[in-house]
Structure 1
Amino acid sequence: MSRRKIVYQGEPGANSHIAVRQMFPDDEAIPSETFPDCFAALAEGRADLAMIPIDNTLAGRVADIHHLMPESNVYIVGEHFLRVNHQLLAIPGATIETLKTVASHPHALGQCRKSIRALGLTPITTADTAGAAREVAEAQDPTRAAIATSLAAEIYGLQALRTEFEDAAHNTTRFVVLSASREDARPEDAPVLTTFIFKVRNVPAALYKALGGFATNGVNMIKLESYVDEGFNVAQFYADIVGHPEDRNVAFALEELGFFTNYLRILGTYKASPLRELWSMNGH
């Protein structure tokens, strides 16, 4: 059986690379420079799946993805939770005292803001964590550090001056697995999640009425994100619910939603990650 190609954003050693290795250990991880490049690889058949970060417990939503998803002809076919362990990496011989700057992706810098301030380092934004590690290794400058993974340290020959450098122990990223073709889970695969986007009609209390069907039918909505259109009116929404469209209560809720919307697209119905329940049990 041939190995599938799983594309991710970033350079080898990025957190997305680790997520691919955890969920798809027998498949091939393919690095890609940007999120749009990942979507293009799916659309053009150069990759079978994409592993894309969508939310983080410290940094919040990954805004680029929430804006790319509605415009791209892709489907969510799975999810994965990654406990993010940021490490402060530098070249061998460097010490905390020699450091002046620290480089990483904006989300990683944000997740380590207090730790960076405590060391008096100047943060520098880069495209991704692993790329920052590579640049530190290439520079061979003891004043420069990167926030990246233990895998990046291994790949680029760096030492970890601090582990668990993030500000909070619950630092977790939720990834979605994307495909160019729809591969819906079955109702019996429960627990199942359904993700969709919708636009409300321009009538008073449209959103309130649109969401009322989920409450009255006992459907748990676990995520709701809004989008601002060209006229700075909030018109489009992204939602995650627990359940399958073929479940009686979900079907009724979606039917009621249709009365108050002029656009609805289901992005995917997929099995909840086994890590979701464990993550919730730990108080997150």
Structure 2
Amino acid sequence: MASMTAPRLPFLAARTCSAAAAFSSLSSSPLQCCPVKRTSATNTNSAPLLSASRPGAPAADGVGSADLNRLRASAMPVADSPLPTYTDPHELPRPLTGADLMESGGEGLKVAYQGFPGAYSESAAKKAYPHCQTVPCEHFDTAFQAVENCTVDRAVLPLENTLGGSIHRNYDLLLRHELHIVGDVRHAVRHCLLANRGVKIGDLRSVMSHPQALAQCEHTLTELGIEQRQAVDDTAGAAKLFTEQMLQDTGAVASSLAAELYGLDILAENIQDEKENVTRFMMLAREPIVPQVDKPFKTSIVFPLEDWKPAQLLKALAVFALRDINLTKIESRPHKKRPFRVADDTFSTPVKYFNYLFYVDLEASMADPKTRKALGNLEEFAPFVRVLGSYPTDVSEV
């Protein structure tokens, strides 16, 4: 969904449009979208591997001091904060582009993913857009850039895994780039032990894969008698590497698709230590989608806190509890532009604490007025609030 700060992100600069205001005219006009620097699209028929070469918020009208558990504060969560309105015609929503109207199956879309052909991310991209043309990228950042400069139409990148947790790099890149989350897709990760033709499990002395994949199969690999581990950047890249080198004493942990693509034998299937191994991927686009209320939607936001008074984070999150909006995820990341905050002068020597950005997923749609009011209320506490996307919840079978 639209960026709720200035088009670029110089933190703590003056903001021209609030998070809630960006959706105030949703029922009568299309969405606002951050401007994105674009170049002419590259025609990549062969889909080669791509390589990489706001602030201060106005207070909501009518919000004054309040009392929560006998704690006084200059701004408190309130359930009836009025929505700010547009005053600058340049801030009005702009029309959606043709890219938003393309078939949901991905017919004609180019979709970037990180890794080599056969990576789990490619399978996730195919699940999200079954008829798309997948485009491998060397790094996560490359995939973001490919969407921004119109080399591809979408990107499908991992956000979190049930065993390994969050992919922090992609959370940081969400704030650095002006893209929008337009959907998410859950993909089951089923690791296989692969080897060159004719190689048996007893011949293997080592195995290579991505560090997360090796960690997820640690116990099983030890039981199979394979003690040495070689970490590489990508599961499919590991399969490609030892295929090219024709290694006879080394295997790879990768997908069955990688085995098919690189002509490898599958020596063992589903070797992850925990059978429920699922990764959630985000679908990124240059433009947001129109949120709805007729089906389950999720909204992802990011915000910092600046005025660190007692229970400030609790009060910020209370704006959602007061409106019965459920939070499904809270992720904190270092605030790289303002890495430290100084504690109150309680002690003779000033104490510096780490400062954070908070990424939050809501079980709510930006088409719901109470969601927009909650974000308008949140701006009482946050220097800025940015909506990363409001998109349908993946309810498909994993």
Task: Provide TM-score, normalisation by structure 1.
Answer: 0.93
Instruction: Determine if contact 1:184/1:268 at 8 Å carries over to the other structure.
Output: no
Query: Separation in 1 of the partners of 2:374 and 2:246?
Result: 58
Gaps of 5+ in 2: 1-101, 341-352
Q: Deviations over 1:156-201 (max 9, x none)?
A: 011111100111111000000001222232223x200000100112
Deviation at 1:215, TM superposition (A): 1.3
Instruction: Provide the rounded CA distance (Å) in 1 between the counterparts of 2:203 and 2:270.
Output: 20
> What CA distance in whole angstroms lies between the structure 1 residues aligned with 2:131 and 2:292?
25
Q: How far apart are residue 88 of structure 1 and its match?
A: 0.5
- Aligned partners of 2:360 and 2:210: how far apart in 1? 27
Higher helix share: 1
Equivalent-residue separation in structure 2 for 1:192 and 1:176 (angstroms) = 14
User: Which of 196, 201, 205 is residue 301 of structure 2 equivalent to?
Assistant: 196
CA drift at 1:134: 0.5
State the shift of 1:67 in Å: 1.3
- Coordinate RMSD, CA, aligned: 1.5
Q: What displacement does 1:133 show?
A: 0.3
Larger radius of gyration, structure 1 or 2? Answer: 2
Q: How does 1:68-83 map to 2 (within 5 A)?
A: 68-83=173-188
State which of 193, 213, 220 in structure 2 corresponds to 1:108.
Answer: 213
The equivalent residue for 2:36 is: none
Match of 1:45 in 2: 150
- Partner AA of 1:17 in structure 2: E
- 1:23 deviates by 2.1
Out of 225, 243, 252, which is 2:331 matched to?
225
Q: As a proportion of its length, which structure holds more strand? A: 1
Give the Cα–Cα distance (whole angstroms) in 2 for the partners of residues 267 and 252 of structure 1: 17
Q: Which residue in the other structure is 1:24 paired with?
A: 129
Matched, 1:234 2:355: yes
Superposition pairs for residues 67-146 of structure 1, below 5 Å?
A: 67-118=172-223, 119-146=225-252
2 CA distance for matches of 1:257 and 1:162? 51
* Unaligned stretches of 5+ residues in structure 1: 280-284
Work out the CA distance in 1 between the residues paired with 2:298 and 2:285.
16
What percent of counterpart residues are identical? 34
2:291–2:367 Cα contact (<8 Å) kept: no
Q: 1:6 to 1:142 in 2, by over 3 A?
A: same
TM-score by length of 2: 0.67
Aligned to 2:108: 3
Matched residue count:
276
